[in-house]
A and B are shown apart, each in its own frame.
Chain A
Amino acid sequence: MDLGPHAAFIWASYGTFALIIGAIIGWTLFDGWRQTKALSDADRRGLKRRSASADTRD
């Protein structure tokens, strides 16, 4: 594929774009995994929300 005399600018644009969008996708997925893990840890420790605690107290 011949991208002409300005190929370096085109590849740099697509490379930077892929890096930034890849990073934001990666971060969003990692954050999701982290929160799901934190919630299941809390679940395992038997933690309940205040509303749930109120239900069980009544």
Chain B
Amino acid sequence: MQTLTQRLANPTRFMELSRALLPWVSAGAALFILYAMYLVFFVAPPDYQQGETVKIMYIHVPSAWLALMSYSLIALSSFGLLVFRHPLADVSAKAAAPLGAAFTLCALITGSLWGKPMWGTYWVWDARLTSVLILFFLYLGLIALRSSLEDEALAGKLTAVLALVGVAILPIIKFSVDWWNTLHQPSTGFTSSVDPSMRTPLLLSAIGFTLLFFALHLKAMQNEILRRRVKSLRLAEVERGERTFAERAGG
């Protein structure tokens, strides 16, 4: 019996499945995000210490979570490419990199804009902030490395190796607030001491933006499959042209 990943190895089958899934995932994302934003701006109370500035957390925390999840997905896809040579693994890794970079940039900017009124500064070189900045540079490195190589297969392999080497940053980011004395507070636990009036919109926002990420990832994977089809059609056209030219020259 075929596993799900084996069944999805066929790009045509993936396109069919993703076309069916995409509207539902997108609609789910829109519903969750809209309801979460309603709760954030009209229901959730101000924090007893942060005041209304806590509202930034409802986009900062999901952005930070997606920055890490996206890199984990790239690492997993890279592993799938290098070890199992899964045909869609490289497509998945390539599609996730700009999305991860965007959410990491959001986490950095919203965190900085929260830091100014709360800490008195936009930026400090503490372990959490610095390691997330390194993660952002890693994303840029993956995108730059891939676009600098014309050979698609080689670019995929080299990017996968870099992604797997860079995976060491994930535990550093996660545990930086425990290992070092940082200005950044410990991780926000969705089930911890946060009051339900704030935890619910935070959780809904995280679910909504995670669904948005997957909708964008599916769409970006579809785009990449189409791009490769167009490329192979153009290559075939060039080869046919060369063959015809050689036949005429020979005859």
A interface residues, Cβ below 8 angstroms from B: 1-7, 9-10, 12-14, 16-17, 20-21, 23-25, 27-29, 31-32, 35-36, 38-39, 42, 47-50, 53
Contacts and interface: CB of A to CB of B under 8 A. Distances in A.
5 contacts: A6-B51, A6-B52, A13-B109, A24-B99, A28-B220
B46 A13 contact: no
B53 interface: yes
A52 B42 CA distance: 58
Interface residues of B, number: 40
B114 A9 contact: yes
A30 B216 CA distance: 12
Q: Interface majority SS on B: helix, strand, loop or mixed? A: helix
Most buried by A among B106, B222, B229: B106
Given A31-B220, A47-B234, A50-B236, A13 B56 contact: yes
Contact of A39 (B60, B109, B229): B229
Nearest to B51: A4
Q: Interface majority SS on A: helix, strand, loop or mixed? A: helix
Nearest to A52: B236
**9 tightest A-B CB contacts, nearest first:** A35-B226, A4-B52, A6-B117, A47-B233, A24-B102, A13-B110, A13-B113, A38-B230, A13-B56
A2 B55 CA distance: 12
A27 B46 CA distance: 35
Contacts of B227: 35, 38
Interface string B15-26: 000000000000
Contacts of B232: 49-50
Interface of B: 41-42, 46, 51-53, 55-56, 59-60, 63, 98-99, 102, 105-106, 109-110, 113-114, 116-117, 212, 216, 219-220, 222-223, 226-227, 229-230, 232-237, 239-240
Contacts of B53: 4, 6, 9-10
A16 B106 contact: yes
Given A39-B229, A42-B234, A3 B63 contact: no
B236 A20 contact: no
A49 B52 contact: no
A27 B88 CA distance: 21
B117 A32 contact: no
Contact of A9 (B105, B113, B239): B113
Given A5-B117, A6-B52, A17-B63, 10 more contacts: A4-B46, A4-B51, A5-B51, A9-B117, A13-B114, A16-B109, A20-B109, A31-B223, A39-B230, A39-B233
B28 to A, nearest CB: 15
Nearest to A46: B237
